[in-house]
Amino acid sequence: MKRVIIIGVGFGGINAARTLAGQGLDVLLLDRNNYHLFQPLLYQVATAGLEQEAIAFPVRALIRGWAGVRFHRTEVTGIDLAQRQVQTTGGAHDYDYLVVAAGSETNYFGLERVQQAAYDLKQLNDAAALRNHILTLFERAAHEHNAEKRQALLTFVVVGGGPTGVEFAGALAELSRLLLRSDFPELEGANIRILLAEAADSLLLAMPKRLQEYARRRLEKMGVEVLTGAVVADATEVEVRLNDGRTIAAHTLLWSAGVRPAGLAAAIDAPRARGGRIIVQPDLSLAGRPEVFVIGDLAYLEQEGKPLPMMAPVAIQMGQYVGRAIVRLERDQALEPFCYFDKGSMATIGRNAAVANAFGVKLAGFPAWVAWLALHLYYLIGFRNRLVVLLNWAYDYFLFERQIRLITHERKVDKAAIGAPRTIQG
């Protein structure tokens, strides 16, 4: 029986494995995490809207009924294309076909000090750490008598005007209002600043102009300060400096300004495009290596003269395509080139507000918000997760309450850098 190794249990890897299940192949999934993570909802964990477990699903439970599919929790350390072998911390694994779906990581564009000071939203622990941090700052601000220091504690800078930045800024604005109203009478009259910095001249660049303007107006109505044409040049744990010389005293910096291929890309000897993505053939294989496929955020493929974006829908369709492609190769059938069908994009901006551009239909406001809710529930894996998320959303919507306002980790404070502890303990 031929073996297919799939590296990564994100959207691409999981969909490839599902397509290959029951096809008479030995399919081995490799990942350092034992769960599939629904990354689009990480920002809701960070803003106390959802619990961590609601957006993750155990891989072993997911593949339980998938014939021929196995999982091994391990760290991939290298790939030997010549020997057709994947090296891991648990030993080497031979393959007949290889699917590399290792995903991406946050791109700080060489700004090392920013990387040290900033939070991002790529892993489950990142979201929990950011929630702990935000709630801890409110606790500290409630007992801070110095107005200037209190303002810095209650100032939040979000970098990146894409869907993650827009959604996080809106959710944080709603959480802040809730905390002030119900939890922190000591902060009555306090000014909570949320700044959304985008280097381009508008938010949500993939959206039509009308939807971009709606998103900006909606955020500003919620109290978010939108700064377009703003590039972060440097940051510490207590301030953010823009390239125009402005300095913002803030204890929170969320970086959502870009991603780059995961570090595993360096282990693959193949041509690279700008940004480090691996150039693939029209069938998503490597040149000269028809048994090796690279999909998702790692893969660089142009369609209609433009590179396919590093987005979940692209990874999903690539995973499904590669699963079918391997089956066709086993049956000595020709492969058609991969063709991505763009179903559109959407972003939510808080209660009753979202923007959506799908199938040529442009929506804003409540209809787009309902569509956003339905789509995310549909793609979320596991009945329990869908039910928990739906109940949390209903609870929040009807009662104006977020129940996950828990500080679950303590921070070790460096007395020499008051107000800027960064090491998560526990």
Name the residues annotated as catalytic: 167
Cβ neighbours of residue 228 under 8 Å, at least 6 residues apart?
Answer: 161, 198, 200, 201, 202, 203
Beta strand residue intervals within 319-397, DSSP E: 345-348, 354-358, 361-364
Cβ neighbours of residue 330 under 8 Å, at least 6 residues apart?
Answer: 2, 23, 24, 25
Cβ neighbours of residue 259 under 8 Å, at least 6 residues apart?
Answer: 104, 105, 106, 107, 122, 297, 310
* 272-276: long-range pairs with CB below 8 Å, 24+: 272/300, 273/300, 273/307, 275/107, 275/300
Tokens of 348: 């939510």
d(CA 92, CA 100): 16
d(CA 45, CA 39): 10
Q: Are 285 and 269 in contact (CB under 8 A)?
A: no
List 195's β-bridge partners, or say none.
157, 225
